[in-house]
Chains A and B, each alone.
Chain A
Amino acid sequence: MSGSLDETSVVSSDCCTIIHIPEKSPVLPHLQATVDVLASVIEPKHANTIVRKLNHIAPLEGLRHVKRIRKTCLDGGKSQLFVILCLASGSDGETNFVPEDVLELVNTYQLSTFTTKVCKHAASTKEEWEEQCKLWPTSFHPPTYNIDGITGFSEEDSSAVFNFMKLAVCMAKSGTSVVNAAVIVDPSTRQVIASSCDQVLSCYASTENTSRESCSSNQAEGSTKVDATKVEKDPVLLVKSSNEAKQSYKEVRCLHPWGWLEQQSHVGPDSWHPLRHAAIVAIEKSAARDRLLFPVNGQSADFAQEDYKVSSPADSPLKRQKINTNVKHDERMDHHRNGLQCDSTRPYLCTGYDIYFVWEPCIMCAMAIVHQRIRRVFYAFPNPNDGALGSVHRLQGERSLNHHYAVFRVLLPEEILKSEAIATPSKID
């Protein structure tokens, strides 16, 4: 699902372009559904009275976005007012059924009625709205209510977004192969909470730490040297390279969730797992971090520590923390029953955190981060195979879910991609 209509550019700063992926797939303006209404020219001096009466006797149920009055300019600077009287009867054969109250109004003001079309649904984009108004004016409310406070990237914010995405892209190059990477970030402190590559392959254990370290140093150098003008000049180039990417990267698990079944295994046990996609492992690390940093009465921090030791970078000070909790099962249950385990400082899963992906997550990973209460999702490349955030599914628009995050695509300058060998398929084949 590509194309400019699908996406609303939120910011284009001097370092990267961040594009909001809306909850609903936008409708092409000329394909929007319409309904027939009965309308009439009215005298401007009667407009107020007539509209008030109509709102009472024939409210436009389900068409709240449609304006009752239309004003058109005639030659010579004069204007003409039209009003919607009521819905015109549909194609069910009942021609021109008009409510009695409306008929009375028509007679009183000697209106000559005609049938016209208005758009059935409220516009979800400015482009849709502009098209709608050619038929009959509607009102347009940009869909900011659901992502309130989390769009509108400042220069500083978008620079941070860019740096975290760069970190993810850097991690995605793991040894000789390219995999997906996920980075969970606390945006309030700009701190990486957890990060991981796909771990369904054989050699992740040895390459990951090295990869992380080199990334950290890259990140420290900052992003100012990047020639970002290229993005603005030629965004098509980036789209093109991402399309190339989808065909080549067989080891990116979210792109090929079922690929593990067909891959030859030359490795022994313990070094692969069909479900250890980058996001799943990053979530696991984030949970282990919580258990370690926010120990709870009655939960074994030793266990958490074991988990975290395996996955944390070698130089992490967290690893050296030692917490003793040897609470017997019965006591643990008592604490639970008394509610003593509540700790208001402990984060609830990943509430308020952002996650960065190189590739749009598959449906499993996308739902996993719904469960985690992630606030914003950023990805660099779409995933036409199983992408859950706009490409195949649009999970951010599933209203029945108990949590919704805002989704953004980050367009990176070509130089970054080249330097990380992401955009050059020949290097990875």
Chain B
Amino acid sequence: MDSSVEETVPETESVAFMKLALEQAKLALDSLEVPVGCVIVEDQKWQKNGLIREEVALKFSKCTLYVTCEPCIMCAAALSIIGIKEVYYGCANDKFGGCGSILSLHTNSSGKVTCSGISKRKEFKCTRGITASGAIDLLRSFYEQGNPNAPKPHRTPVQRV
């Protein structure tokens, strides 16, 4: 596990937001979807609904994302591209995780850093372990009931210990 991911004793605020994310995950579970939820929290009230690039970029740079499971490599890359400020996640994603488990796309240390040209990887702060057990419980319930959207043929739904 990447050392640049902070493991933290949950603080009240992040736990509160993560609970909102867990609520979203529960909604997904009820719809037979993969129970991973997320909320995005803005630092401050946005003054106007700007849609030009500069304004959108500024908006993302003031946003913190709370997600129940570690973002996959694709999502971690996307979060870096949009320039999110900070990410809190619950459980680690040992197979696909892009914020410390498989790759560390939230830091500049993985892979090459592009020095030439206009683009450079955007780093974001990453904290894991916020109410991880809640996220794991939901995922476990999901796999126990079987995933109707999995490719066919797939494992028949069975009870796992």
Contact = CB atoms under 8 A, between A and B. Distances in A.
Given A270-B51, A336-B148, A363-B103, 10 more contacts: A257-B81, A258-B122, A261-B122, A274-B82, A275-B78, A275-B82, A333-B31, A351-B151, A363-B98, A395-B73
Contacts of B152: 342, 344, 348
B111 A393 contact: yes
A393 B103 contact: yes
Contact of B119 (A270, A272, A341, A385): A385
Nearest to B145: A337
B148 A368 contact: no
Contacts of A120: none
Interface of B: 31-32, 51-54, 56-57, 72-74, 77-78, 80-83, 94-96, 98, 102-103, 105, 110-112, 114, 116-122, 148, 151-152
A392 B113 CA distance: 9
A247 B117 contact: yes
Contacts of B118: 250, 256, 258-259, 262-263
A386 B74 contact: no
A364 B57 contact: no
B117 A269 contact: no
Interface string A331-353: 00100100101101000110100
5 contacts: A258-B81, A362-B77, A363-B77, A385-B114, A398-B102
A261 B121 contact: no
A371 interface: yes
Closest 9 CB pairs of A and B: A367-B74, A364-B77, A269-B51, A258-B119, A265-B53, A256-B119, A348-B151, A367-B73, A392-B111
A368 B117 contact: no
B105 A256 contact: no
A402 interface: yes
Nearest to A367: B74
Contacts of B121: 258, 386
